[in-house]
Amino acid sequence: MSDVEEAITRAHHDEWARVVAALTRRFGDLGIAEEAAAEAFTTAVERWRADGLPPNPGAWLTTTANRKAIDRIRRENRRDDKHKEAQMLHDNTPSEPLGAIDDDRLRLIFTCCHPALAVEARVALTLRMVGGLTVPEIARAFLVQGTTMEQRITRAKAKIKAARIPYRMPSADDLPARVSGVLAVLFLIFNEGYLASGPDTDSVRHDLTTEAIRLTRLIRALLPQDGEVAGLLALMLLIEARRPARVSAGGELVPLAEQDRGAWDAELIAEGHRLVRERLAAAAAGVAPGRYQILAAINAVHTSARDIRDTDWSQVLALYDRLVRLDPSPIIALNRAIAVAELDGPEVALAIVDRLAEALAGYHAYHATRADLLRRLGQSQRSRAAYDRAIELAGNTGETAYLTRRRAQLQ
């Protein structure tokens, strides 16, 4: 890549959200901001190639995008004066306790992840407006037609305008719930990358995990005091660190116990561990950790063991016990049972897992876990039936391949 290409890519990463956010604030319209930002980046590609890099690419992009937005508004005003009425609402007064962290990009993120929007729309808007992915890129990532994704984004923008979803920081009262909504969107993006669904996709979608981590880093920079933001970032890093060992040469997913730990990314693990330690210190000072922090701590235990046999399972179980108190969902109970199997044996774990039958009947991991426990107990026939069901339900190509091999290995 030439210097100019590199500078454009970097500027896109660093400046896209800033430009869209500033324009949305100034013009009160997400659509205008998005289009003007896109035009400015297109112009940058042409002009920077021809004339070389401007001294301050960020400022150049903001100025250019502003000019494009004004041109566009003039053009549209000539057609339709009603445009001015549809101004989005924003509040310029910095709210007292949040003053230091008030940033247009945060307003943008909170608007894109607003609870009044459908979850798919939140994901799509966040990737487009904050992440700067193009609509075809987002459509490909979620295996839908480009036109479908375009409609999804257009409809969400229309709702923001029509229902007057505000462009501002949530009140201090609402902040924890709204931050947790943003984190849920980011984790969804990450998980879709980590365990991609769909018969024709790669098992791991590196583009989505990377994007989710990048956006979470941005939120972390904007909300450095938030423990759950740190927790989610640590969690993503510690999962991403294992990516090189997660898919075999043959395209099978490799479970944690069988991974080549030497292939794990030491740098990401170190960064994840640093964040977990930071949150442990906060917990020691009396700040109760949320679910992402506990999940990150569990992953820190796994990534601290150089060999699966060195895993501190009692620590893992203690963390799951805390997590169950916070989130009594059957999926957490299922994962806890896996730690129980290591400490108390597969029979005890199977009894726990069987109690989840009703809640998790349609969840492939429930059947895969059962199949593995039954296999360890020597109950081949029942194990085979559980593998059958797990394979039927698994949406990930690599996972299906792994489960199929395990089933074939049964006596």
Partner 1 sequence: MRYLVSVINDKSDPGSTDRRPAISAFNERLIAEGYWVFAGGLAGTDAATVIDNRGEQAVFSDGPFVESKEYLAGVWVWEAPDLDVALKLAAEASKVCDRKIEVRPFQ
163 contacts partner 1 (rule: CB under 8 A): yes
Cβ-based nearer residue to partner 1, 52 or 115: 115
Side chain identity at residue 357, one-letter code: A
**What is the C-alpha separation between 346 and 361, in angstroms, rounded?**
20
Q: How far is the CB of 86 from partner 1 (least distance, A)?
A: 11
- Within 13 Å, how many C-alpha atoms sit on residue 350's CB side? 16
**Which of 54, 166, 244, 330 touches partner 1 by CB under 8 A?**
166
Cβ-based nearer residue to partner 1, 29 or 192: 29
Q: How far is CA 169 from CA 23, 99, 116, 326, 379, in A?
A: 16, 10, 16, 27, 56
Q: Which range in 111-119, 179-187, 218-226, 279-287 contacts partner 1 by CB under 8 A?
A: 111-119
**Which of 1, 50, 100, 162 touches partner 1 by CB under 8 A?**
162
Count each helix (H run) and each strand (E run) in the chain, helices first: 19, 0
164 contacts partner 1 (rule: CB under 8 A): yes
**What is the C-alpha separation between 32 and 129, in angstroms, rounded?**
11
Listed as own residue / partner, the contacts of 190-199 with beta carbons closer than 8 Å and 24 or more positions apart are 190/216, 190/236, 190/239, 192/141, 192/142, 193/141, 194/239, 194/240, 194/243, 195/396, 195/399, 196/396, 197/143, 197/395, 197/396, 198/143, 198/395, 199/395, 199/397
Q: How far is the CB of 168 from partner 1 (least distance, A)?
A: 8
Q: How far is the CB of 160 from partner 1 (least distance, A)?
A: 9
**Which of 59, 116, 143, 172 touches partner 1 by CB under 8 A?**
116
**What is the C-alpha separation between 257 and 21, in angstroms, rounded?**
44
Q: How far is the CB of 116 from partner 1 (least distance, A)?
A: 6
Q: Which range in 114-122, 194-202, 236-244, 377-385 contacts partner 1 by CB under 8 A?
A: 114-122
Q: How far is the CB of 221 from partner 1 (least distance, A)?
A: 25
89 contacts partner 1 (rule: CB under 8 A): yes
Cβ-based nearer residue to partner 1, 97 or 136: 97
Assess contact for 77 and 84: CB atoms under 8 A: yes
Q: Which range in 112-120, 125-133, 194-202, 383-391 contacts partner 1 by CB under 8 A?
A: 112-120
Cβ-based nearer residue to partner 1, 88 or 332: 88
**What is the C-alpha separation between 279 and 285, in angstroms, rounded?**
10
Q: How far is the CB of 233 from partner 1 (least distance, A)?
A: 27
Cβ-based nearer residue to partner 1, 165 or 238: 165
Q: How far is the CB of 18 from partner 1 (least distance, A)?
A: 24
170 contacts partner 1 (rule: CB under 8 A): yes
Q: How far is the CB of 163 from partner 1 (least distance, A)?
A: 5
Task: Return all residues near 212 (Cβ < 8 A) that are at least 6 apart.
Answer: 186, 187, 189, 190, 193, 236
Would you tell me which residues interact with partner 1 (CB under 8 A)?
89, 114-116, 162-166, 170, 174
